[in-house]
Amino acid sequence: MSLEEPRDAKPEIGVTDDGLDYDALAALLGDTLLDREDHVTTEGFVVRPDDVQDALRTLKQEAGFDHCSCVTAQEYQDRYESIYHLKKYDDPTHELSVVVPTSRDDPVSQSANDVYRTADWHEREAYDLVGIEYEDHPDMRRILLPETWQGHPLGRDYDQTQPQVVTLREHANPLQEDHMADDTDTMFINVGPHHPATHGVLHLKTVLDGEQVADVEPDIGYLHRCEEQLCQQCTYRHQIMPYPDRWDYTANLINEWSYARAAETLADIDVPEYAQVLRTMSAELSRMAGHFLALGTFALDVYGEFTAIFQYAFRDREIAQDILEDLTGQRMMHNYFRLGGVVWDLPNPREEFFEKTRDFLDDLPAKLDEYHDMITSNEIFQVRCVNTGVLEPDVAKEYGATGPVARGSGIDYDLRRDDPYGYYPELDWDVVTEDGCDNYARVLVRMQEVEESAKIVEQCLDLLEDWPEDERTLQSNVPRTIKPEPDTEIYSAIENAKGELGIYIRSDGTDKPARFKIRSPSFSNLQALPEMSNGEYVADLIATLGSLDIILGEVDR
């Protein structure tokens, strides 16, 4: 992993020419710092539960850690621990983990909500699944599981066989009290969990003032499939890999890379160049498929059901899927990556595969023109999308937004370039940003990213074609069972179609992870929805939701 130079030379505390100077950062925290831990890619600073806010605030304001990527909670034999994974939007290789241990008897820790707004949901999740409580948190409720759930399933003494009761209140109206002044009438309305616009099972508790949204509160967890628990039950070598395909199920393949990267860094596994090229190519094809779907469903939201654009987007996605099927053997759940490489080479005859993929890429510009004709240059579409669902860059950073959502707000942040992995640094492509901050900008970003992906695939194809036959190593030598050193911790992330997909793994010396935490981009992006849609019209709420392109499988995990 090569570290990139920080792009602007403004001196920040703890920044040296070759990365972070953790001693300087430690000095910055002074007394609040209890201890320092070594994590694989970074260091963990241990602070006391009642110093969380101070420590984080100092780090954010003085050391420039403006991106709270994730909050991991876990339970040890003797303590609970919350880990705040901090990064910088300017240079995501500058990482720092803030570790907050709390006692088992009284797992209360200060909330980071005041410093990073994104901590709100992350801490609720930690409370829900692990059972740590956060002081000063504005809304300490369960987030993924039903309110009436008994126990915290990722805690150590959770009994999975105990009976549970889940309620359904007819015409439930949890926001009965009026959000507006007395002389106006508001109406509470449930959008979802089954609603055509939610693209899955999301529940938006919405308060309307006439046609305008007075308040919206996303209620998630309708697709909480216990992915973290399941990954903790599986062995590193083969069993975990199928699951990432099911997190972001529109652009499946890229997710595998997140686990591959984390586990490979953890267990120190090399990946042959040839496999890297294959990975890069397949991941970008998958990204295209995901963006086509995003485009199609966004058209569904703005145009109405079963319009031409929707169908065309699916036509093109179908082709991308076909190519991936040729390569991997499945249309969606590819399970193509292996630790240390990929599972198989290009299908034989190779020429046919090249030709098919080239055809697809050659047709693409014409198709994209068609999309631009039908979508982005349509006046009504512009009227609908420009200046709706505005997400200012500061707000986006506060909520930890990443991916096309952040890039649509002008935040130049793409892990493929900023925290390079795979074959990306060798290839010639650009990071797309738009300054519009609105729904329109996000659509534009996605459409241009399809072009960039096409560029990458094209270059990979050239490379693959010329690759000498005897150097096509698919996998490096990987031990049959992987048992990383006990208590190694790693947090690493890749850029999937929706943004920064991070994985935290803590090993305990066995062949299964002791804690497996997924940081999904959609989770953070969705959190910004109320910010973007309050005061807008219902129709724009729906469009904004569509332009966030959340995938519930990834939000709820």
Partner 1 sequence: MTGPLQATTLPETLSGLLGLNTNDPLQWFLAALIASALVGTLMLTNTALVIWAKRKITAAFTDRIAINRVGPFGLLIIVADAVRLLSKELIVPDEVDRPAYDLAPLVLASSALLGFAVIPMGNGIQIADPETGLAYVFAVASLASLGLVMAGYASNNKYSFLGSLRAVAQNLAYEIPLVLTGVSVVIFAGTLRLSEIVAAQSETLFTLGGLAIPSWYAFVNPFAFVLFMAANLAEVGRNPFDIPEAPNEIVAGYMTEYSSVYFVLLYLGEFIHVFLGAAIVTTLFLGGPAGPVLPGIVWFLIKIWAVFLFTQWTRSAVPRVRIDQLIEIGWKGMLVLSIANLVLTAVIVGVLV
Partner 2 sequence: MSSNDKTTDTLSTQDARMGQGADDRFNSPLREAFGSTPFILTKFDKFMNWVRGSSMFMLQFGIACCSIEMIHTYAIKHDLDRFGAGVPRSSPRQADVMIVPGTIVSKFAPRMKRVYDQMPEPKFVVGMGSCTISGGPFQEGYNVIKGAEEVIPVDIHVPGCPPRPEALIYGVAKLQERVANGESAPVTVKPYEMEQFGDLEQDEIVQKLADQIDEDDLVMRYNWTDSP
Binding residues for partner 1, per CB under 8 A? Answer: 187, 189, 195-197, 208, 211, 300-312, 315, 374, 378, 380-381, 383-384, 537-540, 542
405, 430, 444, 68: CA torsion to nearest 10? 10
189 binding partner (options partner 2, partner 1, none; Cβ < 5 to 8 Å by kind): partner 1
Q: Is 130 exposed, middle or buried (0-12, 13-18, 19+ CB in 10 A)?
A: buried
Which does residue 498 bind out of partner 1, partner 2, none, counting CB within 5 to 8 angstroms by kind?
none
Which residues, 100 to 129, sit near partner 2 by CB under 8 A?
none
Dist CA 501 CA 92 (whole Å): 13
- The residue from 155, 242, 393, 530 that contacts partner 2 (CB under 8 A) is 242
Q: What DSSP state is assigned to residue 537? A: B
**Nearest residue (CB) to partner 1, 49 versus 546:** 546
Total site size for partner 2, rule CB under 8 A? 57
Instruction: List phi, psi (to 5°) of 535.
Output: 85, -5
Q: Output the smallest distance, CB 357 to partner 2, in A.
A: 18
Of 202 and 263, CB closest to partner 2:
202
Q: Compute CA 539 distance to the chain's CA centroid, rounded to the nearest angstrom.
A: 26
Residue keyed to tokens 């820790």: 109
Residue selected from 233, 382, 481, 510 as contacting partner 2 according to rule CB under 8 A: 233
**539 is in the binding site of which of partner 1, partner 2, none (Cβ under 5 to 8 A by kind)?**
partner 1
**From the list partner 2, partner 1, none, partner contacted by residue 211 (C-beta under 5 to 8 A by kind):** partner 1
Which part of the chain contacts partner 2 (CB under 8 A), choosing from 56-64, 168-176, 356-364, 396-404? 168-176
3-state DSSP of 257-314: HHHHHHHHHHHCCCCCHHHHHHHHHHHHHHHHHHHHHHHHHHHHHHHCCCCHHHHHHH
| Separation CA 119–CA 113 (nearest Å) | 5
Residue 158 binding partner 2, by CB under 8 A: yes
Q: Which does 167 bind (CB under 5 to 8 A by kind): partner 2, partner 1, none?
A: partner 2
Q: Which does 243 bind (CB under 5 to 8 A by kind): partner 2, partner 1, none?
A: partner 2
Return the amino acid letter for 67.
H
Binding range to partner 2, per CB under 8 A, among 107-115, 139-147, 257-265, 542-550: 139-147
Q: What is the DSSP string of 343-377?
A: S--PPSSHHHHHHHHHHHHHHHHHHHHHHIIIIIT
Q: Kindly indicate which of the ranges 57-65, 82-90, 146-154, 351-359 contains the residues binding partner 2, using the contact rule CB under 8 A.
A: 146-154
- Residue 387's binding partner among partner 2, partner 1, none (Cβ under 5 to 8 angstroms by kind) is none
> Residue 333 and residue 250: Cα distance in Å, rounded?
10
Q: Based on the shown chain and the rule CB under 8 A, indicate whether residue 310 belongs to the binding site for partner 2.
A: yes
Closest residue by Cα to residue 52 from 13, 95, 88, 102: 102
Min CB(361)–partner 1 separation in Å: 21
| Cβ atoms < 10 Å from Cβ of 548 | 27
Residue nearer to partner 2 on the CB measure, 186 or 198: 198
Element (H, E) at 124: helix 119-129
Q: Are 496 and 415 in contact (CB under 8 A)?
A: no
Residue 513 lies near partner 2 (rule: CB under 8 A): no
3 is an interface residue for partner 2 by CB under 8 A: no
Residues within the interface to partner 2 (CB under 8 A): 145-150, 153, 158, 160-170, 193-196, 199-201, 221-227, 229-230, 233, 242-243, 246, 249-250, 293, 305-306, 310-312, 314-315, 317-318, 321, 331-333, 552-553
